[in-house]
Chains A and B, each alone.
Chain A
Amino acid sequence: MNVIASRPAPQYPPHARTYRYDEIDREFLAERIAEFSDQVARRLRGELTEDEFKPLRLMNGLYLQLHAYMLRIAIPYGLLNATQLRQLALIARRWDRGFGHFTTRQNIQFNWTKLEDVPDILRALAEVDMHAIQTSGNCIRNVTTDEYAGATPDEVVDPRVYAEILRQWSTLHPEFTWLPRKFKIAITGSPNDRVAAQVHDIGVLAKRNVAGAMGFEVHAGGGLGRTPLIGRKLRDWVPEDEFLGYMEAVLRVYNALGQRDNIYKARIKILVRDLGDAFVEMVEREYATMPRDPYRLDPAIVAAIAAHFAPPPFAALNDIAPPEDPEFAAWASRSVRPHRQPGYASVTISLKPVGGIPGDASADQMEVVAALAERHSFGEIRVSHVQNLVLPHVRQDELFAVWQGLRAAGLATPNIGLISDIIACPGMDYCALATARSIPVAQRISERFADLDRQLDLGECFVNISGCINACGHHHVGHIGILGVDKRGEEVYQVTLGGSATNDAAVGELVGPAFSYDDIVDAIETIIRTHVAHRALGERFIDTYRRIGLTPFKEALYAAA
Chain B
Amino acid sequence: MSSTPKARPATAPVVFTANRLRDGRVVWLGAEGSWVEALAAARVFPPEAAAEGLALAKQGERQQQVVGVYGVEIRHLAGAPVPLKFRERLRAAGPSIAAEPAGWRLAS
Contact = CB atoms under 8 A, between A and B. Distances in A.
Interface in A50-92: 50, 63-69
Contacts of B100: 97-99, 360, 362
A87 B25 CA distance: 25
A46 interface: yes
A111 B98 CA distance: 13
Interface in A412-436: 428-430, 432-435
B24 A113 contact: yes
Contacts of B101: 99, 353, 356-357, 360-362, 365
B99 interface: yes
Given A99-B103, A365-B104, A428 B90 contact: yes
A430 B19 CA distance: 13
Interface string B79-108: 000001111001100111101111111100
Interface of B: 1-3, 19, 21-26, 61, 63-64, 67-68, 84-87, 90-91, 94-97, 99-106
A410 interface: yes
Contact of A43 (B21, B84, B85): B21
A457 interface: no
A364 B3 contact: no
Contacts of A64: 1-2, 19, 24, 67-68
Interface size class on chain A is 35 or more
B68 A116 contact: no
Interface string A30-57: 0000000000000110100110000000
Closest 9 CB pairs of A and B: A46-B64, A410-B104, A489-B85, A356-B102, A429-B95, A69-B24, A68-B24, A114-B23, A360-B101
A413 to B, nearest CB: 10
B86 A490 contact: yes
Contact of B3 (A111, A432, A440): A432
A292 B87 CA distance: 53
B25 A68 contact: yes
Given A63-B1, A68-B24, A99-B101, A364 B90 contact: no
